Amino acid sequence: MKPLLLDHPPELWLLPCSEKYRQAQVADWIFKKRASSFAEMSNLSAALRTELAEAFDLAPLTLVTCQGDGGSTRKYLWRLRDGSLIESVLIPATEALYGEKSDRMTLCVSTQVGCAYGCHFCASGLDGWKRNLSPGEIVGQILEAERQSGERVNNLVFMGMGEPLANFDSLMSAIETINCPEGLNIGARHITISTSGLAPRIRDLAHYPKQLRLAISLHGATDEVRERIMPVNKKHPLRELVDACLFYQQHKGRIITLEYILIQGVNDSLDQAQKLAQLAGILHAKVNLIPYNTVEGLPWERPPQTTVTAFAKTVQSRGVTATVRTEKGGDIDAACGQLRLKTEQAAARQE
């Protein structure tokens, strides 16, 4: 396979043309004019275009299917050059994750093929971990989603398939390209990294100079409950996670978001709500409550609306900002990893 041009930020490209302005022209074609081939780069000589096409691949992925249409949530299933499948979800402002109205166009991006962390409720980890995405495969999801939808993405959440902080170097390299003015020019404050709780990597992130947003997939307010559904808690228990979050906040001064899926009979008791409020208080964090999106083949269920409301009220009554995320993607398999899983299961049935 040829090297992927997008695997490095534009300032590190080793193009056959060494002149700076030529490099800037190529970056302009890719990130501003959204060219999908070197052949389109009409202000480069034909010889150079051929040379570039011989030296590099431009497209890291191709579209397999898109669910959803128009101004609503769209879910893209992509095929990578080695045949692996990953997903991205485009979420327009009215359906934005944090419920605020704005011109926000959010893309939920994957960072790995599969996931090694195996949270018991999640479709992404069901088949285990296959490999890390390269920086170009991360950046390519944005470019291709924009091309397919005709929209401009201005907000990114690393909440697709995979554990972003377990692919730290590729993630950071992709963020350089996403953030730099000659790249996609999306501000760090519009980029959210979600983690299941890799405490040492949260500390690494605290040393990273950009002001990225951090979301923690907590899903349990005590070790006992968290451990039942998230094996990562055995390696990095709550105490270690909370310490790492405090360290992050001291270094960054950024508000952390605690993501909390509500699963019936598992983590939806009012006792958990009180303990969640306590943790949020210690961390000065806001809380996002997400009624569980059922996954075919898994036993977990979403609690009734009355339970969700009572849980939210209990958290809020302790002075914590908590919102219930209305799940708009349920009908298009928008929960992480579900579309890929279905496609692979269908393919396996055909074999």
Catalytic residues: 87, 336
Regarding 293 and contact with ligand SAH (CB under 6 A), the answer is: yes
Regarding 168 and contact with ligand SAH (CB under 6 A), the answer is: no
Nearer to ligand SAH, 217 or 307 (CB): 217
For residue 210, which amino acid is it?
Answer: K
Class of residue 78 by CB neighbours under 10 A (exposed 0-12, middle 13-18, buried 19+): buried
Residue 118 interacts with which of ligand SF4, ligand SAH, none, CB < 5 to 8 Å by class: ligand SF4
Regarding 124 and contact with ligand SF4 (CB under 6 A), the answer is: yes
- By CB under 6 A, what part of segment 329-348 binds ligand SF4? 336
Residue 31: both structure tokens together: 């990130």
The helix (run of H) or strand (run of E) holding residue 149 is: helix 135-149
Nearer to ligand SAH, 225 or 290 (CB): 290
Regarding 115 and contact with ligand SF4 (CB under 6 A), the answer is: yes
Are 341 and 113 in contact by the 8 Å Cβ rule? The answer is no
Regarding 171 and contact with ligand SF4 (CB under 6 A), the answer is: no
Q: Which of 335, 339, 340, 341 binds ligand SAH (CB under 6 A)?
A: 335
Are 97 and 288 in contact by the 8 Å Cβ rule? The answer is yes
Residue 125 interacts with which of ligand SAH, ligand SF4, none, CB < 5 to 8 Å by class: ligand SF4
Instruction: Give min distance, CB of 327 to ligand SF4, in A.
Output: 15
Regarding 163 and contact with ligand SF4 (CB under 6 A), the answer is: yes
Q: Which of 93, 118, 148, 243 binds ligand SF4 (CB under 6 A)?
A: 118
Are 213 and 258 in contact by the 8 Å Cβ rule? The answer is no
Are 267 and 238 in contact by the 8 Å Cβ rule? The answer is no
Distance CA 105, CA 102 (A): 9
Residue 26 interacts with which of ligand SF4, ligand SAH, none, CB < 5 to 8 Å by class: none
Distance of CA 170 to the CA centre of its chain: 13
Helix, strand, coil percentages for the chain (3-state, nearest 5): 40, 20, 40
Distance CA 226, CA 234 (A): 9
Regarding 196 and contact with ligand SF4 (CB under 6 A), the answer is: yes
Are 133 and 170 in contact by the 8 Å Cβ rule? The answer is yes
**Contacts with ligand SAH, 232-271, as mask; x by CB under 6 A:** ---------------------------x-x----------
Distance CA 220, CA 211 (A): 27
Distance CA 119, CA 125 (A): 7
Distance of CA 203 to the CA centre of its chain: 19
Nearer to ligand SF4, 217 or 314 (CB): 217
Regarding 295 and contact with ligand SAH (CB under 6 A), the answer is: yes
Number of residues engaging ligand SAH in binding (CB under 6 A)? 17
Regarding 336 and contact with ligand SAH (CB under 6 A), the answer is: yes
Nearer to ligand SAH, 149 or 167 (CB): 167
Name residues whose C-beta falls within 8 Å of residue 26's C-beta, 6 or more positions apart in sequence.
10, 13, 15, 41, 44, 52
List of residues contacting ligand SAH (CB under 6 A): 121-122, 159, 163-164, 194-196, 217, 259, 261, 290, 292-293, 295, 335-336
